Structure 1
Amino acid sequence: MNDANPDLDALAGFLEHLDPRDAAAAAFARHLLDAGAVVRSLWGPVQMDVRGLSVQRGDMIVRFGVERGFSDGVLIGRADAADESGLRPIALAVFAWARANGIPLQLDDPDGIEVDLVTVGIPALDWVGAGNDDAVHRVHRAWFEHRRRLDRLQGRTRGRPSDVDLRAVIADGVAALEAAAPRAVPSRPTQDPAADPASSPRTV
């Protein structure tokens, strides 16, 4: 299915199926569609309850999916990309957007970025679409390396890492994401030239 010939019943069925598995993702999909996003693809279900929905807003694609009864989360990427290898979790994009714009967002765990996508998802998506892909890629690389370290820890401890080791890996991951994220540039207050003797006209 594509935006030229949407199957509204199939779309409603997908969202109803996604809702109990990932209510936040389903709400964001509806919010995007209400805001004018167009359906690029909708397919499934196929074996193992695999199904997917991709919608486009501007130059960006947002992908939703289900496999074996679990949500794939919300992934974003460029609409003109050749394949889906460049898709990134939208939570990482929201984190980068928030840091770049000086918007408070608490980060305690790289795998637990909690955001209200209905509130901030579209502004973050549009920010990425405006040419801030590199910022999201840097954050994603830091997150991916965190996941590798976490997997190595789980493997080394046979899935039973100590609380101390686990907290250390999470803390390092948080620090890595913070270091990779863009930073807002504070605006300089406008100063009245009359209040600054150095900037006032001088008479000789």
Structure 2
Amino acid sequence: MSKPQTRRKDTRERILDVALELFLERGYDQTSLREIAERLDVTKAALYYHFRTKEDILDALVGGIGERLDELIAWARTQPTTLETRRELLRRLNEALEEWAPVFQFLQENQAALRDRSAPKTFRDRMQQLGTLLTDPDRPVLDRVRSLSALFTVYFGTFAISSMDGTPEEKRAALLQVAWEQIDAAHAAHAAHSDP
């Protein structure tokens, strides 16, 4: 009994992998379920067994990231609002981006096509929540911008440096270092203003 379940999961994962590959190659709107089935060398009926629509595939792709981001947000909400917590939040986000890089790339490259779909909207909501966790509303605008810049550095930097020389590890470490410098600067500026 356990083998068929494992087989179904393997097929489902293969579908997601191939769909993501095609979405990245051709774009979300230009990829059909027929093309996904053809690339998998399965019938459309076999594909429909797992996913009835492209939106179902999109929801599954974004769902894994959503769960990871929800865990990160839940963790951060239980921590003290300290510099150390914010640095760790950025580190964990950097790690998640490395793990889910192709899906993040797909979301970034297909923003126009995905604008009216629900899955990317919930993703944007999660990113806004992360931004809120990194900033203090009572701090000066410059400090809040520095804090948000740290988030943008980790997230958008992933795509901006993809063609840059260096190993993926070096580039991810550099992004995290720059993000930490920004969050440190926001914290240091606030601490300097708070000292009597």
Please say whether Structure 1 and Structure 2 have the same fold, judged by a TM-score greater than 0.5: no
Q: Which structure would you say has the larger Rg?
A: 1
**How high is the TM-score relative to the length of structure 2?**
0.31
Normalized per residue, the structure richer in helix is: 2
Normalized per residue, the structure richer in strand is: 1
| Greater RCO (CA < 8 Å, at least 6 residues apart) | 2
